[in-house]
Structure formats: C-alpha cells, structure tokens
Amino acid sequence: MTDKPVIATPRRLPGALSGALKAKYDVREPESDVAEDGAFMAIADGAAAIFATAFDEMDARFISALPDSVKFIASIGVGVDHIDLDTAKARGLVVSNTPEVTTACLADTTIGLIIAGCRRFREGLDIAETGEGRGMLTPESWGQRVTGRTLGIVGMGNVGKAVAKRARAFDMNIIYTTPRPSAQIDSEFAARAVAFEELLKTADVISLHCPLKEETRHLIDAAAIEKMKPSVVIINISRGPVIDELALIDALRAKRVFAAGLDVFETEPGPIREELRSLPNAYCLPHIASATFESRAGMAMRVLVNIDAFFETGAPIDQVV
C-alpha cells in the first residue's frame, strides 16, 4: 500500500518521464504498450488522475466509463480535440494541456514548409537524387520568392504570432483572421485583421493555426479553395480535419493550389493518404513539428508542473476545463 496519489496512464511512458512521476506518485501503467479500454478502466480504478497523450482518444463513452475516483486528465500536448471536453466538464473533471512550450518549434516548422512549398524543394531534391547537378532551369519548373509575399494566418494565438514574427524577417505582408483581433497585434506584427473571405482571396500563403472545433472542421474545403489564387501555398500544422483532404488533393492535381505543406492529416492516427503523399507539390511531414529535444522536454516538464499543481491546489496551471 502507498499513500502517494495514484495516476493511471493508458500507455507505457518513456523511462525518464515515468521515473519523474514515480518519484512523487503511484503510477499505474499497462503491461503492454497500450491498454485496451476495459483493461485501462481496471488500472484507473482508484486513480485520481489520468496521464493522456494526443494518441489517447477519450470520447464521451470513454469518459463516462471512467471510475468515480478520477478527477483530473493531464494531457501532454497543445491540442485537446482527442478529449470530449463537454463530457469531461459535465462529469466535473479537470483537464489540462501543455501550451507555449512547443510554440517556437511549431513556428519554425511552419516557416520551413512555406519555404519548401514556395521554392519547390521536394522536386529539387528528387532531381538531385538522379545526380543531376543543375536542374529546374525552365520557367515551368521555377518556384516562387517568399520575400514580399502576403501571408494569411488563420488563428493568431501563440503559434500564429510566432509565425508572424518570423515572417516579418522575410518582409512578408501579414494579414490574419482570429476571434479576437486587436490594435496591439496589428502594431506588434505589422499585421492587418481581415475577414476570412478576404484572406482566402488575398493571401499568397495561407497558414492554419486554429484549433479543431465543429466550426473549423473542413474550414478549407472545395468552396474555400475556389476563392484562393491558383498560386497559393497552403500550410497546416494545426489539426488534419481543418482541411478537406480530398478537396485539397483534387486542387493540387489540377494545379488550382501551387503547393501544400502538411504536418497533420485527416486520417490520423492512420496512414497518410497515398494519393496525397505521392503528389510532387505536397510536402508531408509525419506530425513532427514538436519533435525536438527542447519541445519534448518542455512538454514533459509542463505536464509535471500541472500534475503537481492539481494535487497541491486542486487546479493545474494550464487548465482547459
């Protein structure tokens, strides 16, 4: 028996993180890599908190089945769309995430995808693989200059602002749409708030940094793409379903969209659609925007801070509900 607070996790944790938690808490992990729902409910019985990752789908059915002992879900990562927040709130559960610590790496990845998409790096790398020393010499194979183009940012939260800060170094004209535009944002980033329709029509690069909600699901669909310039480059490191991928695939094939840079996909956690990843103007990364030593260490430290705060005060630092 132990008098330490009990934390349950549906998957085995990395050694360092598991060790840090076990120094203060009674941590229950599954014997296999990932526990089935039924097996996890047995592990969670008597636990006050659950450690969750973005790969742990906690829908209404899952949350409703949790033992009464569970009062807190500590999620590692920024997004919380894998958790049914309405059901959690109705059950009186506290939910936290780990924002801010990944901001720099997410913004860096966005800028990398913008440059790669505009300059057609994927096609250049393919040519270099053949051994050809000088390729893409004809106008139909040329890319676009990044400097001076208009960047449309959808969602001006921490990551959107960090992208705007970096984009200023490229002398990009910044327009944005967000639920709470402000004169301070306009001044700090030399940006201009516009309506979503204007952003679609005006931007040379559209970068998505909005959370996944019902109103943002398939925000970029065939109708939205039809309003864009054919030279547009679309970037998404937010959540896959913000884009209707089938509509995007059609537009990339028809060259109604110049390029797309994606780190998230509608089919996650399943494989990336072959018809998307095979397109030469689609730049697909396997959800690695936060996959740096700095970001992952920061996420681990932040979730530990949230867990400590919950057990000490009843409220984590980064409370979502």
Could you list the active site residues?
239, 268, 287
Could you give the angle at the alpha carbon of 121 between the alpha carbons of 126 and 145, nearest 5°? 150
Q: Say how far apart CA 54 and CA 212 lie, in whole Å.
A: 13
Return the residue matching tokens 């993180």.
17
Return the residue matching tokens 């997410």.
106
Supply φ then ψ for residue 192, to 5 degrees: -135, 125
- Chain centroid to Cα 134, Å, comes to 36
Q: Say how far apart CA 86 and CA 71 lie, in whole Å.
A: 15
Tally Cβ neighbours within 10 Å of residue 55: 12
Of 199, 59, 95, whose CA–CA distance to 209 is shortest? 199
Tally Cβ neighbours within 10 Å of residue 65: 12
Q: Say how far apart CA 239 and CA 312 lie, in whole Å.
A: 33
